[in-house]
C-alpha cells in the first residue's frame, strides 16, 4: 500500500477570504491500494462514509477516469486527525490525499499543478486545497479551471493556537450566511488588508498582522453561527496575540501568536475555556506544515 500524509489547513487567512491559506503541522494519513471493489477502513472513531460516497474514494476514482484509466476499485485505510467540519480543511485533506494517492498508483501521469487545479475545482475554492497540496503560506486565485498561485514559507516566529468548538459548521451553511453583494468600502477594506497580509507573511512583518487579519467579507456574518467566538477573540486580545480570525468557514477560531509563547497561550486558552464551561472545546498549538506527500509505511505510522 502507498501512504499519503496530508496537512490540516487554515483558509480565509485574515482578510484573505477565498484566497489566502496555510498548511499546518497536523496530518491525516491515507493508505491506498488498487482493489476489486470498495473496501474502506476507518482507523479512528470519525464518522465518515465507508462506501463509494467516501470523498477520498470518489476523488481518486475521478482521477482514474480523467486519465482514461480503468478503475477496479480501491482499498483505503484512513486515519483522521483533522476534525471534520471545523474550518481546518478536513475535506481538502481528503481531496488532496485522494488525488495525490491516485496519481501515485497511476504512475504519476499528472503534474502537481494539474492536481492543484483539480483539487480547487472539486473543493469549489482554492484557499484550503492549494496549501494542502503545496504546504506553507499560499495566495491563490481561480481563473476558469486554473489556479494561479504563489507560495512562501510561513515566518519561523509564527505560531497558531487553534480553539476548536465542540460543534461542526458545514461550509455550505456558513456560505449561505454571506450576502450576495458588498459595498465598495468593504471591498477596499479587505483588498488592502489581504494584500498587506500576503507581503507581510513573505517579509516576516508580524507587526502588521493585527490590521492585516481584519475582515469585513465573511466574519461579521458568520460570528453569530459560532456562539462563544467573541469571547475567544477577547481572550486572544488579552493574551496580546498578533491577531485572531475564523479559520476557513469556522467553527475554529485561530490565534496568530509568537511561536515562543504558543505553549503558554495554549495552556491559558484551556483554562479560559474550562472557566467558561466550554469543556468539550479543544485547543491545539500548531506550526507551519508541509504539503501532502507520499511517505514510507514507517513515516505514516
Chain residues in the site for ligand HSE (CB under 6 A): 11-12, 18, 125, 127-128, 171, 174-175, 218, 248-249
Q: Is 90 annotated as a binding residue?
A: yes
Which of 137, 177, 139 lies closest to 154 in space, CA to CA? Answer: 137
147 in Cβ contact with 126 (< 8 Å): yes
263 within 8 A of 286, measured Cβ to Cβ = no
Burial class (CB in 10 A: 0-12, 13-18, 19+), 282: middle
- What's the closest the beta carbon of residue 87 comes to ligand HSE, in angstroms? 7
Residue 247 marked in a binding site = no
> For ligand HSE, which is the closer residue by CB, 71 or 167?
167
| DSSP track, 97-143 | HHHHHHHHHTTS-S-HHHHHHHHHHHHSSHHHHHHHHHBSEEEEEEE
How far is residue 270's CA from residue 281's CA, in Å, rounded to a whole number?
9
**Residue 181 Cβ, how far from ligand HSE at the closest point, in Å?**
17
Q: Percentage helix, strand, coil, to 5, in the chain?
A: 40, 25, 35
Which of 171, 251 has the CB closer to ligand HSE?
A: 171
- Closer to ligand HSE by CB, 103 or 130: give it: 130
Would you say 72 is a known binding-site residue? no
Which C-beta is closer to ligand HSE: that of 101 or that of 248? 248
User: How near is the Cβ of 252 to ligand HSE at its closest, in Å?
Assistant: 11
Q: Is the CB of 76 or the CB of 249 nearer to ligand HSE?
A: 249
Residue 154 DSSP one-character state: P
7 is annotated as contributing to ligand binding: no
Least distance (Å) between residue 192 CB and ligand HSE: 19
Measured from each CB, the residue nearest to ligand HSE is 11
Q: Which three cell numbers stand for residue 102?
A: 491516485
- Does 192 carry a binding-site annotation? no
Q: Least distance to ligand HSE from the beta carbon of 92, Å?
A: 7
139 is in an annotated binding site: no
Could you list the residues known to form a binding site for ATP, using ranges: 83-93
Could you list the residues known to form a binding site, using ranges: 83-93
Amino acid at each position: 500500500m502507498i501512504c499519503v500524509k496530508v496537512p490540516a489547513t487554515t483558509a480565509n487567512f485574515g482578510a484573505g477570504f477565498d484566497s489566502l491559506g496555510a498548511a499546518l503541522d497536523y496530518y491525516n494519513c491515507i493508505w491506498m491500494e488498487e482493489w476489486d471493489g470498495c473496501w474502506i477502513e476507518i482507523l479512528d472513531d470519525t464518522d465518515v462514509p465507508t462506501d463509494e460516497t467516501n470523498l477520498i474514494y470518489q476523488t481518486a476514482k475521478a482521477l482514474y477516469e480523467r486519465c482514461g484509466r480503468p478503475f477496479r476499485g480501491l482499498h483505503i485505510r484512513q486515519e483522521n486527525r483533522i476534525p471534520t467540519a471545523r474550518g481546518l480543511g478536513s475535506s481538502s485533506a481528503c481531496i488532496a490525499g485522494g488525488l495525490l494517492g491516485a496519481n501515485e498508483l497511476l504512475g504519476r501521469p499528472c503534474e502537481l499543478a494539474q492536481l492543484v487545479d483539480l483539487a480547487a475545482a472539486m473543493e469549489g475554492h482554492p484557499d484550503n486545497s492549494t496549501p494542502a497540496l503545496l504546504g506553507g503560506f499560499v495566495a491563490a486565485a481561480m481563473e476558469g479551471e486554473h489556479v494561479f498561485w504563489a507560495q512562501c514559507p510561513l515566518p519561523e516566529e509564527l505560531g497558531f493556537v487553534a480553539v476548536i468548538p465542540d460543534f461542526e459548521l458545514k461550509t455550505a451553511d456558513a456560505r449561505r450566511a454571506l450576502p450576495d453583494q458588498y459595498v465598495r468600502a468593504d471591498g477596499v477594506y479587505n483588498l488592502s488588508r489581504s494584500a498587506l497580509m500576503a507581503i507581510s507573511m513573505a517579509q516576516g512583518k508580524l507587526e502588521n498582522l493585527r490590521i492585516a487579519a481584519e475582515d469585513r467579507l465573511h466574519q461579521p456574518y458568520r460570528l453569530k453561527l459560532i456562539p462563544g467566538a467573541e469571547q475567544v477573540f477577547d481572550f486572544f486580545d488579552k493574551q496580546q496575540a498578533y491577531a485572531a480570525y475564523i479559520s476557513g468557514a469556522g467553527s475554529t477560531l485561530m490565534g496568530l501568536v509568537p511561536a515562543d509563547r504558543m505553549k503558554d497561550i495554549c495552556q491559558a486558552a484551556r483554562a479560559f475555556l474550562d472557566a467558561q464551561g466550554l469543556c468539550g472545546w479543544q485547543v491545539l498549538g500548531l506550526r507551519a506544515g508541509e504539503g501532502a506527500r507520499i511517505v514510507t509505511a514507517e513515516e505514516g505510522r
